[in-house]
Chains A and B, each alone.
Chain A
Amino acid sequence: DADVTQTPRNRITKTGKRIMLECSQTKGHDRMYWYRQDPGLGLRLIYYSFDVKDINKGEISDGYSVSRQAQAKFSLSLESAIPNQTALYFCATSDLPGLAETRRFFGPGTRLTVL
């Protein structure tokens, strides 16, 4: 079944470490997103990409970078992790580009803890 996958699913790291979260999709969608979920807050957009050569900042991009290596792969990096980056991270794709009816298709999430 076409899917959005994320690795790792859980990660515990220390302050100052570099971390990469990876996302792959077999849906054939051009548009991919990284979101962050914190308790008591809505999902917030970190970065998004419309195709391999397109990268756009979301509302909370500071402290993060991304790489769109291929249509199917979109990775999120924390160059120097800090404790307030502890959160649940979701990768997503979207269908029907440019149409109001477009939906997000989410991966299973990566739970990141920064000590």
Chain B
Amino acid sequence: ILNVEQSPQSLHVQEGDSTNFTCSFPSSNFYALHWYRWETAKSPEALFVMTLNGDEKKKGRISATLNTKEGYSYLYIKGSQPEDSATYLCARTQGGSEKLVFGKGTKLTVNP
């Protein structure tokens, strides 16, 4: 079992603040790193899938970076809005396996 660790476990920010959180994973036999956004009472939705060391992806105010050599990914949210409140899940696959190993998530609350 590959351990995917996310920090912090939860985070409260004010509207307009920028924030970031971390996903750490074993760097050996890396294949892909996923970020999902999970709003309460809804389905988790894919934000990014990254495969290459140094990858950076962006969707609106949300961006992510990947360092496969040291085994971490950062998710950044610029100018947080209340609608950004959700749990952000990180997940990793190794060596072409179908098994996506998820972290426990970071729960973000953006206060108006």
Contacts and interface: CB of A to CB of B under 8 A. Distances in A.
Nearest to A108: B43
Interface string B41-59: 0111110010100000000
A42 B99 contact: no
A100 B31 contact: yes
B92 to A, nearest CB: 11
Given A59-B1, A102-B49, A104-B36, A42 B43 contact: no
Contact of A4 (B36, B43, B93, B102): B43
Nearest to B46: A103
Interface string A85-115: 0000010000000101111111111000000
Contacts of A56: 98
B4 interface: yes
B62 interface: no
Interface of A: 4, 31, 40-45, 48, 50, 56, 58-59, 90, 98, 100-109
A42 B105 contact: yes
B102 A43 contact: yes
Contacts of A101: 32, 49, 51
